[in-house]
Structure 1
Amino acid sequence: MNMKKLFILGIRGVPAQHGGFETFAEKLALYLKDRQWQVTVYCQEEGSGDNWSSTWKGVQRIHIPVKGSGAASTVAFDWKATQHACKQDGLFLTLGYNTAIFNFLQRLAGQVNIFNMDGIEWRRDKWGIIAKSWFWLNERAGCWAGNHLIADHPRIKDHLATRVRPAKITTIPYGAERITEANPALLEPYKITPGNYSIIIARPEPENSFLEMVRAFSMRKRDHQLVVLGNFSPEINPFHKKVIDAASDEVIFPGAIYDASIVQALRFYSRFYLHGHRVGGTNPSLVEALGAGCAVIAHDNHFNRWVAGPQAAYFSDEAACAALLDQILEDESGIKIMKSASRERFDEQFTWDQVMLDYERLLSAWHP
């Protein structure tokens, strides 16, 4: 039997260094490799010169050097990766649609390309009109260029079904690890103790309700701490400054933390995980919070409600968030119920084993 071949495009490479899609690609590549697939991942490198190849844990890598490290360099990398992919034989998985217009080359070449369409990027507040137009155009391009589409949330599928027929879309959510223990000593540098703090982990952007959550927490003294993870630059970003200025002395800003064991411990020992995302599908950080058994307080929208389930607590605005904190911050029995419900929701929908199995079934069905 011929070995199945998969090429993964749309990310910066493996091992993961840049967030959700890279983590997913790493998991999927290693999973399929162990099941006798030949997996190749395109990797972005800073520099110039010719492409080169390497192997990482049995996964093939095509390294493509491009000048710079910003958005323009990523577009250049995607263009070069697509050109290279057009000359290969196998199945293709493209993660995200940010440069999907390039993938028409693969469709014209008769290749089979599956797209994970990610979230509705052009709706995000942070983008200007040019960027929003580019993402809107490429979302359309991905719908047309892809042979089949993957949505990570039922509402993303509903959205995509306004572009293509529903039979062209399969819903498979993001996954995470189940965290059942963590080292409490990892909390000591932040001068916090298990159960005596709550946490926010997200990019500090307006659409993630940072200001509303920090203001709501800081409305009065709570004898509790709020740890806000994220890369803040108040000297150059007015929104970041506004968030920090709104914080009481019970709010801690330790910056962005990339050590997975520390982040896991911070989630695991928190009293509440606050999730303010208003746009997107299945958010990786929210899934990771469920996997750690966090009691979840989330912005009230259909994306978060499907992921976190009915036992999470939801707020619509700053006042509602403050009222929630007043009501449930000290409710030990309620917190216990919420934590248990998070684990149940995670186990029924978001384990990596189930996500990987669903991907393998879909990719096997489409392999040429």
Structure 2
Amino acid sequence: MIEQSKTVDTSRKVVNILGIRGIPAAHGGFETFAGRLAPYLVEHGWTVNVYCQESGKADYEDDWNGIHRIHISSDATGSKGSVVFDRKCVADVCKRPGIDLVLGYNTAVFNTLQRLRGRKVLMNMDGVEWRRDKWSFPVKIWLYANEFIGANISNVAIADHPEIARHLRRHGCSNAVMIPYGADRIEAAPEDLIERYGLKSGQYLISIARAEPENSILEIVSAFSSKKRDIKLMVLGNFSPDNAYHRKVQAAASDDVVFPGGIYEPEVVSALRYHALAYLHGHQVGGTNPSLVEALGAGNPIIAHDNRFNRWVAGDQQFYFDSQTALEALIDQIGSGLDLKQAGVAAAARHQAEFTWLKVNAAYEALLLTCL
């Protein structure tokens, strides 16, 4: 770790965070991460500017918990609105001092302007987004192009997983560094928060993911529902009756599968994790997935899709499946063949070793200091 020198001019310690919708977090992993990193940097003497997306309002700026927020409006909605927002953020940040930390590469083509202006740009390269099945071919081309641009125009490309770092280096990015995602340690949670869903502590499995084919939600639900169980399965995530895949997942579910929809109350999600018998993780692509790291922080035994991404994050003492049949066999062994207690201890230890917010935030600050 690079320690801050006493001779560092604090007036130079300015960082601009782009690429997210804003803080406090209300949308996803990058927003949660920014909500952790920004206060840490403020406490360590940094001036932190965070760009926040607004709709139907005039641009404005304010301060929140010591963080300066720059609110940029975008009349467009959806993906188009995000693209317009990102373009406006880049135009604005070029007028301000500081190092630019860009979270995500989806519009990296705009970030070339920052480099042309001689600015220092650090970019978190997220997962290999263009490989996801949900995108159409034109969108995959756009994402692939922006991944290449972002990896090669940024001063430092940040990978959240060793495999992502290797992927970037294979594509000509020689400056990639690896800093993973973080999560809180959950050591206790009130049971009444899970009882509202008809659940009892230690008597249910849980899955928290977007309901998409690449996250193996159908395989998870089908494997669990293949026979009568003495436990329940909690599947967090939004399901739409207009989505054919969502309908297929729900049709495959037994009466012991609970679909509560999206839950955005952190204390409720933490309680659902903490009291779960085990966490089911079906992600087939990506880097350090936030939901898997959060499961480690809750000390959950992990039953995950067998791939190099999940194995590095969760470690060798968890349980892995490569098919629906293999997953069904693992679920059948719950209560007999699987040592869930030892897996839970190993999960907590893995979190403490690699994924605490203190360790992640310190690594980001050390990287920022090298750019002053």
**Shorter-chain TM-score tier:** over 0.9
Deviation of 1:333 after TM superposition, in Å, equals 7.3
User: How far, CA to CA, are the matches of 1:178 and 1:364 in structure 2?
Assistant: 27
1:102 aligns to 2:107 (yes or no):
no
Aligned twin of 2:88: 80
2:196 is aligned, of 180, 189, 195, to 189
Asked if 1 retains the 8 angstrom alpha-carbon contact of 2:152 and 2:173, the reply is no
- Give % identity: 52
1:42 aligns to 2:48 (yes or no):
no
Deviation of 1:169 after TM superposition, in Å, equals 1.1
What secondary structure is seen at the aligned counterpart in 1 of 2:170? coil
1:356 is aligned, of 324, 336, 361, to 361
Asked if 2 retains the 8 angstrom alpha-carbon contact of 1:47 and 1:68, the reply is no
1:26 is aligned, of 15, 28, 35, to 35
TM-score of the two chains, using structure 2 as the length reference? 0.96
Q: What are the Cα deviations for residues 158-181 of structure 1, in whole angstroms up to 9, with x where unaligned?
A: 000012343x01100000000000
Amino acid at match of 2:214: E
Aligned twin of 1:115: 123
User: How far, CA to CA, are the matches of 1:125 and 1:173 in structure 2?
Assistant: 24
2:267 is aligned, of 247, 253, 261, to 261
Aligned twin of 2:138: 130
1:213 aligns to 2:214 (yes or no):
no
Q: What are the Cα deviations for residues 66-117 of structure 1, in whole angstroms up to 9, with x where unaligned?
A: 1133110000000000001111111110000000000010011000000000
1:14 aligns to 2:20 (yes or no):
no
1:365 aligns to 2:370 (yes or no):
yes
Aligned pairs (5 A) from 1:111-190: 111-166=119-174, 168-190=175-197
User: How far, CA to CA, are the matches of 1:266 and 1:198 in structure 2?
Assistant: 10
Aligned twin of 2:288: 282
User: How far, CA to CA, are the matches of 2:173 and 2:223 in structure 1?
Assistant: 43
Q: What are the Cα deviations for residues 102-156 of structure 1, in whole angstroms up to 9, with x where unaligned?
A: 0010011000000000000000010001110110010011012201111000000
What secondary structure is seen at the aligned counterpart in 2 of 1:64? strand
Deviation of 1:2 after TM superposition, in Å, equals 3.4
Deviation of 1:48 after TM superposition, in Å, equals 4.8
Unaligned runs of 5+ in 1: none
What secondary structure is seen at the aligned counterpart in 2 of 1:190? coil
What secondary structure is seen at the aligned counterpart in 2 of 1:192? coil
User: How far, CA to CA, are the matches of 2:10 and 2:286 in structure 1?
Assistant: 38
Q: What are the Cα deviations for residues 215-250 of structure 1, in whole angstroms up to 9, with x where unaligned?
A: 0001111111001000001x2000000000000111
1:295 aligns to 2:301 (yes or no):
yes
Q: What are the Cα deviations for residues 180-221 of structure 1, in whole angstroms up to 9, with x where unaligned?
A: 000001111111100010000000000000001110001111
User: How far, CA to CA, are the matches of 1:119 and 1:35 in structure 2?
Assistant: 29
1:335 aligns to 2:340 (yes or no):
yes
Amino acid at match of 1:176: A
Amino acid at match of 1:349: E
User: How far, CA to CA, are the matches of 2:257 and 2:56 in structure 1?
Assistant: 41
User: How far, CA to CA, are the matches of 2:222 and 2:280 in structure 1?
Assistant: 13
Q: What are the Cα deviations for residues 15-49 of structure 1, in whole angstroms up to 9, with x where unaligned?
A: 11111000101111100001110000011000154
User: How far, CA to CA, are the matches of 1:352 and 1:281 in structure 2?
Assistant: 17
1:239 is aligned, of 231, 242, 245, to 245
Unaligned runs of 5+ in 2: 1-8
Deviation of 1:5 after TM superposition, in Å, equals 0.3
Asked if 2 retains the 8 angstrom alpha-carbon contact of 1:230 and 1:257, the reply is yes
How many residue pairs get matched?
363
What secondary structure is seen at the aligned counterpart in 1 of 2:16? strand
Asked if 2 retains the 8 angstrom alpha-carbon contact of 1:8 and 1:42, the reply is yes
Amino acid at match of 1:109: R
Asked if 2 retains the 8 angstrom alpha-carbon contact of 1:274 and 1:297, the reply is yes
Amino acid at match of 1:24: F
User: How far, CA to CA, are the matches of 2:190 and 2:274 in structure 1?
Assistant: 9
Asked if 1 retains the 8 angstrom alpha-carbon contact of 2:202 and 2:276, the reply is yes
What secondary structure is seen at the aligned counterpart in 1 of 2:10? coil
User: How far, CA to CA, are the matches of 2:331 and 2:26 in structure 1?
Assistant: 34
Over aligned residues, Cα RMSD in angstroms? 1.0
Asked if 1 retains the 8 angstrom alpha-carbon contact of 2:72 and 2:88, the reply is yes
Asked if 2 retains the 8 angstrom alpha-carbon contact of 1:268 and 1:294, the reply is yes
Deviation of 1:274 after TM superposition, in Å, equals 0.1
Spell out structure 1 runs of 4+ moving beyond 6 A: none
